[in-house]
Structure 1
């Protein structure tokens, strides 16, 4: 349940997704990539993901850990599902 609690927090999944998709980033680059995230929220999520072992500090920024990349691989099918859901949700009646 602790894992679901962490992933249910605003921007937690988006942050790991971004680091997994584009690779290591500086704080500023992460903020640019996540567009709508505030610096405070980004810092809070980064710290939580770092404490949980999904993100780590590297020279010049932050990166997904091996554990984070394993979780990302499990989450990737949701990207495809999201597209299916979105087209269903925005179907002819919307």
Structure 2
């Protein structure tokens, strides 16, 4: 049976050869994958706790993401639900600094937006 989650060496979004970084980006780019990892970085959570922390994501989507993240060795079953695996903790350690960077970026974008009036219909897609 073919794998339903991105795997290095297999075609993924953006890479027919399945380069490892592209497989990772494909996995992390899926709806609520990063959100689930971010929430689980706080510690183990039951499915319902994680669903609530992920702003009420549908159980179907969350279940699918947890299966993919578990199959990818980033999340594991715990006595109390789910938690990051060692690999998941290592990945989160690499992703965490992006949170601070994104705050600085958001502030720059807000300043830029405040300085430039936006006109409806120019370069925007509905």
Alignment of 1:28 with 2:20, yes or no, is no
1:82 to 96, 102, 108: 102
1:47 alignment partner in structure 2:
67
What TM-score do the two structures reach when normalised by structure 2?
A: 0.70
Q: Secondary structure at the match of 1:9?
A: coil
Question: With CA pairs under 8 Å and 6+ residues apart, which has the higher RCO, 1 or 2?
Answer: 1
Q: Cα deviations across residues 23-58 of structure 1 (Å, max 9, x unaligned)? A: 000000001111141111111110000000000001
Task: List runs of 5+ in structure 1 lacking aligned partners.
Answer: none
Inter-partner Cα distance in structure 2 for 1:25 and 1:8: 22
Q: Count matched residues.
A: 93
RMSD between superposed Cα atoms in Å: 1.2
Structure 1 runs (4+) greater than 2 angstroms displaced: none
Inter-partner Cα distance in structure 2 for 1:62 and 1:35: 17
2:32 alignment partner in structure 1:
11
Which structure: larger Rg? 2
